[in-house]
């Protein structure tokens, strides 16, 4: 497995080795020993989520109030997503910085993001499916959102999908109404 820390400290990209033959492909998408060696701690799994999205669906930017925070290990099992990680830790020297990784059913990469980081996914193909391994069970009172189109973040969202067709962004009412980054700077 190749492991690369992203530009946002506390986030890593995991690219597994693919073992293929006439039967298909096998890969180890998560291996605790390799994870712990790279990240410096174990991953405590408390919940697994899965979502399927049409092309253009943008979920996020979501985060969990820290503490307690929620770490995630995200893998695309079908289709393709642009996975975006944003540093939302107020005391971090990279506060507001973001990085992205293409997650798809070809390279089978995964992204780990630590507590205190925000997360967004843009589906680049119809029926794209992602799984999230989560370190905290869903707790609505800790759930928070930020506007994915906040100009202060300046996220470079792609205009076309995996098939080369233009994307029409589809967001939930909650995500559309989400505040900008400056709200995190208020006392």
| Helix intervals (H) in 3-148 | 32-39
Query: Both tokens of residue 166?
Result: 């233009």
**Catalytic position from the list 63, 73, 119, 132:** 132
Spatial CB neighbours of 159, under 8 Å, sequence gap ≥ 6: 166, 167
- Shortest CA distance to 144 belongs to which of 112, 119, 110, 107? 119
Told to judge if 132 belongs to the known catalytic residues of this protein, a careful annotator would answer yes
3-state secondary structure of 181: helix
- Shortest CA distance to 53 belongs to which of 29, 74, 32, 31? 74
| Planar angle of CA 127, 133, 138, nearest 5 degrees | 95
Distance between CA 47 and CA 35 in Å, rounded? 18
Is the C-alpha dihedral spanning 128, 133, 137, 142 positive or negative? negative
**Catalytic position from the list 62, 63, 73, 119:** 62
Distance between CA 76 and CA 102 in Å, rounded? 9
Catalytic residue ranges: 62, 132
């Amino acid at each position: 497995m190749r492991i690369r820390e992203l530009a946002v400290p506390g986030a890593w990209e995991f690219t597994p080795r693919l073992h293929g033959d006439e039967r298909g492909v096998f890969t180890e998408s998560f291996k605790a020993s390799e994870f712990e060696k790279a990240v410096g701690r174990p991953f405590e799994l408390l919940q697994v989520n899965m979502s399927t999205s049409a092309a253009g669906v943008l979920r996020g930017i979501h985060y969990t109030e820290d503490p307690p925070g929620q770490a995630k290990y995200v893998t695309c099992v079908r289709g393709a997503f642009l996975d975006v990680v944003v540093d939302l830790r107020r005391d971090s020297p990279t506060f507001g910085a973001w990085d992205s990784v293409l997650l798809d059913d070809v390279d089978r990469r995964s992204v780990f993001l630590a507590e205190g980081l925000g997360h967004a996914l843009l589906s680049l193909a119809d029926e794209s499916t992602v799984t999230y391994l989560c370190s905290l069970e869903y707790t609505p009172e800790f759930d928070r959102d930020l506007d994915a189109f906040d100009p202060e973040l300046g996220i470079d969202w792609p205009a076309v999908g995996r098939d080369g067709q233009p994307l029409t962004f589809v967001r939930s009412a909650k995500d559309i109404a989400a505040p900008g980054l400056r709200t995190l700077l208020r006392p």
